[in-house]
Amino acid sequence: MFIPRKVSFILLFLLTAAAVYAQSNNTDSLRFIIKFDAESQGKLNAYKALARALLFKDFEESHKASVAGAGLAEKLKDPGSLGECIMLTGQSWYFKGAYDSAAVYYYKALDILTKSNDLLKKAGVLNELGKLYRKTRDLDRSLQMYDDAFSIYKNLDDEGNMATILNESGVVFEYRGDYDEAIKRYNASLEIREKLNDDVGKGYSYNFLGGVYTLQKKFTEAEKYLLKSLEIREQLKDSFSIALSHGDLGYMYKEQGQLDKATEQYNLSNAIASKMHFADLQLSNYKELAVLAEKKGNFALALVYYKKQSILKDSIYTGEKLKQIEQLNAKYQAEKKEQQLQIQKAEITRKNYLLWGLAGGVALLILSAVSFYRKRRLQHKMHLQEAVMKQQDLATRAVIHAEENERKRIAADLHDGVGQMMSAAKMNLSAIETELPFKNEDQKLKFEKLIGLVDESCREIRSVSHQMMPNALLKRGLASAVREFLDKIDNRIIKINLHTEGLQERMDDNTETVLYRVIQECVNNVIKHSGANNLDISLIRDGDGIAATIEDNGRGFDITDKQKFEGIGLKNISSRVAFLKGTVDFDSSPGKGTLVAIHIPIVP
């Protein structure tokens, strides 16, 4: 296409401006380049600059620019820009609350940038993955991503990005309750920002410090830092970070007991977040506004906020989304391990060639080299098998961990979401009972029956949520959780005797949760299938591990019949015990009851 000389001159000027796009917010100029320039590096730079400029203003437009930029980067065979555009696409999904989609793009970008050895951009993706796993509360994995990113920035002597990682990783320590380490990191980040005279960075450091002092109930320091952060952000006219500041001030005032001020701040935050379609921030704000309305006694408004929160939460957090993120991370870790193994394999091969060359003239040296080669090959094979087994074990743990997290999420949603709505409904029904003019006694009885049904539904929701993740297991340990579960079974149906020994000390969460699920499955099998009227359960912990026996006097079954072990119940028991490196034995015959014997070793 022919472009007049005057337009060409303008384009040349704008392309020069695009080279320093990090200092420019002129989105109109960038759109002009994109519209009139040929498919060149300048146009690609404009796409990246526009995606970044719109990222905290208009997620949808940022998404379009990054996707178009990725297409052009592929045509120009520019892997660095391709990885950067794909990461920007992931960021637009992240801020819209689609964490599974964000994870897909982040890992795709990480793969491209790793292969092209673009360390600076790779570190940027690792930082984004750290934020994502921090958001889903997978704190160990989040810290791993931040550590990898910090290591790269340190080797590149990139102080600005090192300061960013110090702030971001500090939040992980906040979540862990290690406030001293969090403050240490925030102050280290602030020192770098002041050295670099970086106002944007100082705003974030002040905000993080305000947040951690709020958690410690040090409200004077908290308010000072949060207001300093808001002042900087208002001067910069950064809508995204201003919304965050109002939300953090709302939380501080709520914790301080200043409910009206807290409500005002959350509404200011939501006004900005709703315009930007910032779903995650809206979700957090609605949750806090519901709590504030409840504290003020405005239960109708609280119910409105809970409904809005529930709708947003369902769109952001689902078991399938979290499972997909987990699978992507497992794939990334496996590929990372595979790359390390390939490097080791290449190194071994190189050494073997060297040995063969040196041993060519002497038979003894040849024999020695062959022996050495076989020994190293066997060791490498053993290491490879160990790595594969370890990766498989990690994958199994990840699946069970995701399953238990999903149980916790559903239980929390039932208890905190639906349960609170039902409680609010009951309170509202009770409140209007005295205001309704019943025509006769029959109408009044029907209304009271309706309240009774709502009350019964509340109890049922609490029961189901406690079944999925019992409080006793979280607070008091395995023995208390099993006893609480058994106490709910009608002893007129079956008499249950429980004996526990040596369980005063808590075990790790995985062992307690898996053992509880196994015992729960065994008891349910006895009640459903055995016809027994007596059940004896023993849980004993000693130096060798944990021994559990479940014995009933029911009808029993033929243990040589393999079809009996094809059912979901017995498969679940066997797979969960195997996950803990334990053993399970079944002893039964028709008419003589069943004994399930489980042994779990204690790993130091």
**3-state secondary structure string across 396-448:** HHHHHHHHHHHHHHHHHHHHHHHHHHHHHHHHHHHHHHCCCCCCCHHHHHHHH
Question: Which one of 50-64, 92-106, 243-257, 431-445 scores highest in mean pLDDT?
Answer: 243-257
Which residue type sits at 486?
L
Mean pLDDT score across all residues of the chain: 80
- What is the bridge-based pairing of β-strands 583-588 and 594-601? antiparallel
What residues have CB less than 8 Å from 383, skipping those under 6 apart? Answer: 341, 344
What residues have CB less than 8 Å from 219, skipping those under 6 apart? Answer: 213, 252, 255, 256
* Each residue's pLDDT tens digit, 143-158: 999 999 999 999 999 9
Q: What are the sequence ranges of the domains in the chain?
A: 1-96, 321-433, 476-601
Given 3-state DSSP classes, what are the helix, strand and coil percentages for the chain, each rounded to the nearest 5? 75, 5, 15
- Is this model's pTM higher than 0.75 or not? no
333, 391 contact by CB (below 8 A): yes
- pLDDT exceeds cutoff 70 at 76: yes
- pLDDT exceeds cutoff 90 at 166: yes
- pLDDT exceeds cutoff 70 at 405: no
What residues have CB less than 8 Å from 597, skipping those under 6 apart? Answer: 547, 548, 549, 584, 585, 586, 587
Rounded Cα distance, 189 and 439, in Å: 70
Which of left, alpha, beta for 158 (phi over 0: left; psi -120 to 50: alpha)?
beta
- What is the bridge-based pairing of β-strands 594-601 and 534-542? unpaired
Within 10 angstroms of residue 519's Cβ, the number of other Cβ atoms is 23
- pLDDT exceeds cutoff 50 at 167: yes
pLDDT at 327: 54
Which of left, alpha, beta for 550 (phi over 0: left; psi -120 to 50: alpha)?
beta
569, 520 contact by CB (below 8 A): no
CATH number attached to the domain at 476-601: 3.30.565.10
* Each residue's pLDDT tens digit, 27-68: 888 888 888 888 889 899 999 999 988 887 787 888 899 999
pLDDT at 467: 59
As given in the structure block, the two tokens for residue 194 are 């002041």
- pLDDT exceeds cutoff 60 at 604: no
Query: Which whole-number Å values give the CA distances from 316 to 4, 320, 322, 458, in the listed order?
Result: 50, 11, 10, 26
**How many residues are there in the chain?**
604
As given in the structure block, the two tokens for residue 446 are 């029907």
Of 379-383, 458-462, 480-484, least confident by mean pLDDT is 458-462
The more confident residue out of 337 and 444 is: 444
pLDDT at 27: 84
DSSP conformation letters of 195-256: HHT-HHHHHHHHHHHHHHHHHTT-HHHHHHHHHHHHHHHHHHT-HHHHHHHHHHHHHHHHHH
Residue of 81, 79, 26 lying closest to 48 (CA atoms)? 81
501, 478 contact by CB (below 8 A): no
pLDDT at 485: 80
Angle at the Cα of 395 (from 133 to 126), degrees rounded to 5? 30
Helix (H) or strand (E) holding 294: helix 279-295
The more confident residue out of 227 and 359 is: 227
DSSP conformation letters of 129-177: HHHHHHHTT-HHHHHHHHHHHHHHHHHTT-HHHHHHHHHHHHHHHHHTT
Q: Residue with structure tokens 């994958």? A: 395
Q: Residue with structure tokens 């960013």? A: 164
Which residues in 441-455 are b (16+ Cβ under 10 Å) and which e? eeeeeeeeeeeeebe
The more confident residue out of 404 and 439 is: 439
Of 220-224, 238-242, 294-298, 371-375, least confident by mean pLDDT is 371-375
Rounded Cα distance, 97 and 94, in Å: 5
pLDDT at 565: 67
* Secondary structure (3-state) at 257: coil
121, 80 contact by CB (below 8 A): yes
Residue of 241, 237, 173, 170 lying closest to 201 (CA atoms)? 241
Q: Residue with structure tokens 């437009």? A: 61
What residues have CB less than 8 Å from 465, skipping those under 6 apart? Answer: 410, 411, 412, 414, 415, 419
Which residue type sits at 124?
G
Please report which confidence band the pLDDT of residue 333 belongs to, taking 50, 70 and 90 as the band edges: low
Query: Which whole-number Å values give the CA distances from 202 to 115, 192, 337, in the listed order?
Result: 34, 9, 38
Rounded Cα distance, 513 and 461, in Å: 21
Q: Residue with structure tokens 């982040």? A: 106
- pLDDT exceeds cutoff 90 at 296: no
As given in the structure block, the two tokens for residue 347 are 């190194």
Q: Which residues on neighbouring strands pair with residue 498, listed in sequence order?
A: 537
Rounded Cα distance, 262 and 241, in Å: 18
Can you name the CATH fold of 1-96? Answer: 1.25.40
pLDDT at 322: 46
Q: Which residues on neighbouring strands pair with residue 534, listed in sequence order?
A: 495
| CA 154 to the chain's CA centroid | 27
pLDDT at 15: 35
Q: What are phi and psi for residue 180, nearest 5 degrees?
A: -65, -45
* Each residue's pLDDT tens digit, 409-458: 675 556 555 656 676 676 677 767 777 777 788 877 877 777 777 777 77
